[in-house]
Amino acid sequence: MAPFGFIFLANRGNLTKAKLYEAIRRRLGTEPGCYGVRVRPSRARPRTIEARVETAEFLGRAYAVDDATLTVRFSYPRAVGYEYYIIEWSEAARDLGIGWHQDEDHPDLGECHFQFDYAGATIDRRSATFIDEHPLEVLETRLDQLRAVLPQIDWAEGEPKLSDDGLPVPE
């Protein structure tokens, strides 16, 4: 009979991923305004971390909607030497979503892009800085950028629009 250690060690990639997702879950659990942080579908098979967000507490100021959802996903494709990730903010009340995607979906924009969705469609997509750091550092950087980007959304004409100048997205 094979020792149990072989079964456990044969799947070390998932163990590493599970540890990362648990670290992200714990980190978001300490973020002001984030609550109900959970790993989906489960801690044993992590795919996504979701947090409910009380927007005013998260941003440190009043905001147009009271709550949002923050979603974080990391993956490790074998074909590239860095992590893919998606860090997204979504507001159900306004059908709004913004976030950073470091993946292969839009090679014309480089290794990473910022995406802005409204009413079920992508209304803006821009190249964003590739961050080759530990995933927790990436998360910290993107949370800081999120706090800078959200107040710059202009709703003057009833639909959201991002300013083209002074926006920290491409940095």
pLDDT tens readout for residues 51-93: 999 999 999 999 999 999 999 998 877 777 778 889 999 999 9
For residue 32, the model assigns a pLDDT of: 96
Q: What are phi and psi of 107, to 5 degrees?
A: -60, -25
For residue 89, the model assigns a pLDDT of: 98
Lowest-confidence pick of 3-7, 40-44, 70-74, 80-84? 3-7
Tokens of 14: 């998932």
Whole-angstrom distance, CA of residue 29 vs CA of residue 36 = 8
Question: Higher pLDDT residue, 19 or 86?
Answer: 86
Structure pTM? 0.83
- The residues spanned by each domain of the chain are 4-162
For residue 42, the model assigns a pLDDT of: 66
Cβ neighbors of 59 (< 8 A, separation 6 or more) are 33, 147, 150, 151
